Structure 1
């Protein structure tokens, strides 16, 4: 590993979490490097537009160059390219926002957001990152990971974002077992108060889980059992259509843990 590159990445990660604006001394302390080293790293990143310095506080924050890199990643992501049409169909059919997400370490990265139909102002969540255990997207993906990967995630630190977040590995494991049985996951205000979602896994041409599609909206919309069920079924069907578009085999997602549907 090239140490300078590794340290530069560490700088970006530090600026992406916590206070988000940090001074040279703060970063040097966090990275356990000399202040001149931290300053040199920041100046190099600044020259490439990856960080910027606030004129008033002299502190550093992430720069616009990262947006360009992030958009390039999203635009080239195969799942996102294939998911756009299907997400729009689901958003129109269910009259709700639709997210498409993939796992990155222990987080779910939202790679596409289809806004709910209408003229109301909406926050576009593309690029947002959520702890996997606090959202339906994460549960839908992790439920279908190989057992050893699933166990590792359950054994790691589980985030608690709201009072409804579930950070008990045994409870989560039981939920994931249920997800494998019915083919979709749910969350109720576990990542954002006032919001709920249902999500279904998407599989690639190898039969491995590649991501998930979620229907997201105000919790009131999901409190009605019929509406919740209808939304879940619609989401599962769209996820299956997207999986077929990616070349997934017919038995994708089926295992000894989940009996085939009649």
Structure 2
């Protein structure tokens, strides 16, 4: 791992649940020695990507991250377009709705609107969603280039629960079904007791750039609710794609089978 990769990897440890880190605990988490971690943090601080509190000496994200986020959003306003739509679905269903985008780190959660119910599914912003174990991931794979899907299916697949699909042939069948339906459903593949419905957000080339999903406790699932969620996520994904690109992209399915 290069020095740049090591420095960037430290930024991934700053999350909503862990917004601040001490030097020693961050070094342990990253599995770097303290001297290396300090050197990387100093370099990140010089660029404004992290800041050290004057009293506690703990590190937090700096304004440099926000500056880059604003530049990126000005050129590709995914959040500006999507957040109002995601909020509308959350109000309609009163279940947790989350938005994800695919990049070099994988399928990353970029926005979450949680249900107001006491018994709800929680998803963390910045969480990387395994493609084979989540409805969001299956929806993404169903509308991805065939070479990406085939490459993913050749990797060892982690079983998160007893329901996780880890057999490539079976997973290929589920991806093909999702491509035909235009949405996917996840039943306890990533977390026990969680049911979700997801649809792909398409780029101009017709391939998925991310997904939008509704997640809820499995115990609340009924056919009527599932039908409502399917329509909600498909409409939302289509709406987001159309607003981002000024037209509705023509879907290109993976066609792996």
**TM-score between the two structures when normalised by the length of structure 1:** 0.74
Within-5 A mapping of 1:62-77 = 63-65=60-62, 68=66, 72=70, 76=74, 77=76
Equivalent-residue separation in structure 2 for 1:256 and 1:250 (angstroms): 18
* SS in structure 2 at match of 1:153: helix
What's the CA shift for 1:254?
Answer: 4.5
Looking at structure 2, the residues matched to 256 and 128 of structure 1 have their Cα atoms a distance apart, in angstroms, of 25
- Relative to 1, partners in 2 of residues 1:39 and 1:229: Cα closer, same or farther, differing over 3 Å? same
| 1:136 to 1:69, Cα distance in 2 relative to 1, 3 A | farther
Q: Determine helix, strand or coil for the equivalent of 2:132.
A: helix
Assess if the C-alpha contact under 8 Å between 1:203 and 1:248 holds in 2: no
- The question of whether the paired residues in 2 share the 8 Å contact of 1:204 and 1:248 is answered with no
Secondary structure of 1:196's aligned partner: strand
TM-superposed deviation, 1:145 = 0.6
- 2:185 matched residue in structure 1: 186
Q: Kindly tell me: are residues 41 and 244 of structure 1, through their superposed partners in 2, closer, same or farther at Cα, counting changes over 3 Å?
A: closer
Q: Distance in 1 between matches of 2:231 and 2:177?
A: 15
CA distance in 2, matches of 1:234, 1:35: 48
Between 1 and 2, higher relative CO (CA 8 Å, sep ≥ 6) is seen in 2
Give me the whole-angstrom Cα distance separating, in 1, the residues matched to 2:123 and 2:254.
Answer: 39
Pairwise CA distance, 1:158: 2.1
Find the aligned partners of 1:246 and 1:214 in 2 and give their Cα distance: 18
Q: Could you tell me which residue of structure 2 aligns to residue 240 of structure 1?
A: 238
How far apart, in 2, do the equivalents of 1:164 and 1:70 lie? 39
Secondary structure at the aligned position of 1:246 is classed as helix
Q: Is the 8 A contact 1:206 1:248 kept in 2?
A: no
Q: Distance in 2 between matches of 1:111 and 1:73?
A: 16
Q: Which residue matches 2:102?
A: 103
Whether 1:125 and 2:131 are equivalent positions in the alignment is no
Tell me what 1:230 maps to.
228
Question: Is 105-114 or 73-82 further displaced after alignment?
Answer: 73-82
Instruction: For residue 96 of structure 1, report the CA deviation from its aligned partner.
Output: 1.6
Deviations 1:61-104 (A, max 9, x none): x6333874786588555222211122122222222221111123
CA gap 1:164/1:70 in 2 versus in 1, 3 angstroms:
farther
Distance (whole Å) between structure 1 residues aligned to residue 224 and residue 117 of structure 2 = 26
Task: Say whether 1:50 aligns with 2:43.
Answer: no
For structure 2, list consecutive stretches of 5 or more residues without a partner in the other structure. 16-20
Spell out, residue by residue over 1:9-47, the C-alpha distance to the aligned partner (whole angstroms, 9 max, x if none): 34556x579xx98849x77x956xx97555433443466
Cα distance in 2 for residues equivalent to 1:150 and 1:104: 15
- In the TM superposition, residue 156 of structure 1 has moved relative to its aligned partner by 2.0
